[in-house]
């Protein structure tokens, strides 16, 4: 029976249907106003501000509009970076719904290396010289802290008791280190570093989602890539989403660009240009995936449709509701979150247009990636958007932000 179900699942994956579509007018978009997006993006390409991009809008569960410009084609594979976090959050929520853990559980219940965490402090001695010391954390890191980035971890690390960067000596600086060790080892190394502050007291963006990825491995008994493949990618029909690009698909991998002094972009000379062509030892749940416009849209439509896409139910309606609720409240935050946004279980959550100062809807949630990619989901408007580009780091007011703003101004019903 198990072999039969596996065979049926494989057939479903191979024969995945095209994305459901609708005309813009039938779901409340103005076609003329949508054309403004294409004009703007083509202008970015023509003037050299970006080399290419693609975008897609869906409403009521159907794709109403999509386009691509410059080098980015409909099937181009791009580096998703932090848009990986949304997939890791869904993986975690799958296990939460299965009763594998509670959000209030201490992480050390599953990852014992986090049992005795310490918090970094800085002060001055009697002569005014800087001093560095640590104290025991007053409460354990909870599972919910992993989802909402309130663990005390970031991507740079605090200074240790010697006044040296704590993450540097464990080879975990920067969010996507080219490590020769696996996720289990990476998490054990992080557990030896002090925290910036007490767990649960401050939003600080960083390695929390990677630790969540390790929790997924421990609670499921699978490596993170296998769990993603079996529990998310195959059921949703994702064909090009993985932690690396196999050689047969290298011709579809997007070129990565960096901003050029004085304007425009140039080819990146960094290791990320080639590193996604081989399977990494370290499967980063916070930054490791590549994907395509169609693949990631399937994932987004699953969330827009309250946990289900076509015949595949990944999460319950209430599970999705829990993911997109604001779990941050009035807690302070260390950068990154724009004004007027709270934070859910790995998504920024709109607290209302009057608070964000941007066009949008209260309850809309989103996230993006370091190379300028982004998505958002608006439950009230039954609307979602996905935007892909490859410029690292994304500069200033990005095409991603323009795309979202111009998508909302195209709503007429």
Interval 336-360: pLDDT, tens: 899 999 999 999 999 999 999 999 9
- pTM here? 0.94
SS3 for the chain is CHHHHHHHHHHHHHCCCCCCECCCHHHCECHHHHHHHHHHHHHHHHCCCCCEEEEEEEECCEEEEEEEEECCCCCCEEECHHHHHHHHHHHHHHHHHCCCCCCCCEHHHCCHHHCCCEEEEEEECCCCCEEEEEEECCCCCEHHHHHHCCCCCCCCCCECCCCCECCHHHCCCCCCCCCCCCHHHHHHHHCCCCECCCCCCCECCCCHHHHHHHHHHHHHCCCHHHHHHHHHHHHHCCCCCECCCCHHHHHHECCCEEECCCCCEEECCCCHHHHCCCCCCCCCCCCCCEECHHHHHHHHHHHHCCCEECCEECCCHHHHHHHCCCCCCCCCECCCCCCCEEECCCCEEECCHHHHCCCCCCCCEEEECCCCCEEEEECCCCEEEEEEECECCCCCCCHHHHHHHHHHCCECC
Residue, of 239 and 275, whose pLDDT is higher: 239
- Residue 342 maps to a domain: yes
Q: Do 122 and 78 fall into the same domain?
A: no
Q: Do 367 and 290 fall into the same domain?
A: yes
CA atoms within a 13 Å half-sphere pointing along the CA-CB vector of 228: 25
From CA 166, how far away is CA 291, in angstroms rounded? 33
Q: Do 358 and 401 fall into the same domain?
A: yes
From CA 73, how far away is CA 253, in angstroms rounded? 10
Contact predicate 45/257, CB 8 Å: no
Contact predicate 212/89, CB 8 Å: yes
Q: Name the β-bridge partners of 143.
A: none
Domain boundary among 188, 205, 220: 220
Reference 111, options 140, 88, 74, 76; nearest CA is: 140
pLDDT at 209: 97
Cis peptide before 393 (omega within 30 of 0): yes
- With vertex at residue 173, the alpha carbon angle to CA 168 and CA 178, rounded to the nearest 5 degrees, is 110
For 257-266, the pLDDT digits (tens) are 999 988 899 9
From CA 208, how far away is CA 143, in angstroms rounded? 10
For 69-94, the pLDDT digits (tens) are 999 999 999 999 999 999 999 999 99
- Residue 3 maps to a domain: no
Confidence of residue 382 (pLDDT cuts 50, 70, 90): very high
Which range among 5-14, 299-308, 374-383 shows the weakest confidence by mean pLDDT? 5-14
Average pLDDT, the chain: 94
- Residue 2 maps to a domain: no
Give the mean model confidence (pLDDT) for residues 216-222: 98
Please state, in angstroms and as integers, the Cα–Cα distance from residue 253 to each residue in 49, 120, 277, 308, following that order: 20, 41, 9, 29
Cβ-based neighbours of 2, under 8 Å, separated by 6 or more: none
Structural domain range at position 178: 103-220
Cβ-based neighbours of 251, under 8 Å, separated by 6 or more: none
For 17-31, the pLDDT digits (tens) are 799 999 999 999 999
Tokens of 145: 């802290």
Contact predicate 67/74, CB 8 Å: no
Domain boundary among 192, 220, 248: 220
Give the mean model confidence (pLDDT) for residues 116-127: 93
* Parallel/antiparallel/unpaired status of strands 312-313 and 308-309: antiparallel
Q: Do 60 and 192 fall into the same domain?
A: no
- Residue 1 maps to a domain: no
- With vertex at residue 214, the alpha carbon angle to CA 86 and CA 107, rounded to the nearest 5 degrees, is 100
Confidence of residue 397 (pLDDT cuts 50, 70, 90): low
Calculated CA dihedral for residues 327, 333, 335, 341, nearest 10 degrees = 40
Q: Do 227 and 212 fall into the same domain?
A: no
Q: Do 359 and 241 fall into the same domain?
A: yes
Q: Do 65 and 189 fall into the same domain?
A: no
Give the mean model confidence (pLDDT) for residues 351-378: 96
Cα R_g (the chain), whole angstroms: 21
Q: Do 251 and 372 fall into the same domain?
A: yes
pLDDT at 222: 98
Q: Do 232 and 212 fall into the same domain?
A: no
pLDDT at 225: 98
In the chain, the percentage of residues whose pLDDT exceeds 70 is 95
Q: Do 21 and 107 fall into the same domain?
A: no
Structural domain tally of the chain? 2
pLDDT at 14: 41
| Statement: residue 4 has pLDDT above 60 | no
CATH number at residue 314: 3.40.710.10
Tokens of 71: 């080098």
Give the mean model confidence (pLDDT) for residues 116-131: 92
- Residue 194 maps to a domain: yes
Confidence of residue 396 (pLDDT cuts 50, 70, 90): low
- Residue 221, Cβ neighbours under 10 Å: how many? 8
- Residue 250 maps to a domain: yes
Q: Name the β-bridge partners of 376.
A: 366, 385
pLDDT at 13: 41
pLDDT at 16: 56
């Amino acid at each position: 029976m198990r072999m039969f179900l596996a065979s049926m699942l494989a057939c479903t994956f191979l024969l995945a249907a095209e994305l459901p579509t609708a005309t813009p007018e039938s779901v409340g978009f103005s076609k003329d106003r949508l054309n403004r997006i294409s004009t703007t993006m083509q202008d970015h390409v023509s003037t050299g501000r970006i080399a290419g991009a693609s975008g897609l809008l869906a409403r009521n569960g159907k794709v109403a509009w999509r386009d691509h410009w410059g080098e980015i084609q409909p099937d181009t594979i791009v580096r998703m970076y932090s848009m990986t976090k949304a997939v890791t959050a869904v993986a975690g929520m799958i296990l939460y719904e299965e009763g594998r853990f509670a959000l209030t559980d201490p992480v050390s219940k599953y990852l014992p290396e986090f049992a005795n965490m310490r918090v970094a402090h800085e002060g001055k001695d009697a002569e005014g010289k800087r001093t560095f010391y640590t104290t025991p954390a007053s409460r354990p890191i909870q599972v919910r802290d992993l989802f909402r980035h309130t663990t005390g971890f970031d991507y740079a690390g605090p200074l240790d008791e010697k006044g040296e960067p704590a993450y540097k000596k464990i080879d975990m600086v920067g969010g996507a280190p080219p490590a020769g060790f696996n996720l289990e080892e990476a998490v054990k190394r992080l557990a030896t570093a002090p925290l910036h502050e007490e767990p649960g007291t401050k939003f600080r963006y960083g390695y929390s989602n990677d630790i969540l990825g390790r929790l997924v491995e421990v609670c499921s008994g699978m490596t993170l890539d296998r769990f993603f493949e079996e529990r998310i990618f195959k059921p949703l029909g994702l064909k090009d989403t993985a932690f690396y690009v196999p050689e047969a698909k290298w011709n579809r991998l997007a070129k990565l660009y960096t901003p050029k002094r004085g304007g425009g972009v140039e080819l990146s000379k960094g290791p990320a240009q080639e590193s996604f062509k081989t399977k990494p030892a370290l499967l980063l749940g916070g930054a490791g995936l590549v994907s395509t416009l169609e693949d990631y849209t399937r994932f987004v439509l699953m969330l827009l449709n309250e946990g289900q896409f076509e015949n595949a139910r990944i999460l319950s309606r209430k599970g999705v509701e829990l993911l997109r609720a604001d779990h941050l409240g009035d807690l302070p935050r260390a950068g990154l979150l724009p004004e007027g946004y709270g934070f859910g279980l790995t998504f920024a959550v709109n607290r209302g247009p009057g608070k964000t100062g941007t066009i949008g809807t209260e309850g809309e949630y989103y996230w993006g990636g370091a190379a300028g990619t982004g998505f958002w989901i608006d439950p009230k408007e039954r609307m979602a958007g996905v935007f892909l580009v490859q410029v690292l780091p994304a500069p200033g007011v990005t095409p991603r932000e323009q795309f979202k703003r111009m998508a909302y101004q195209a709503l007429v019903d």
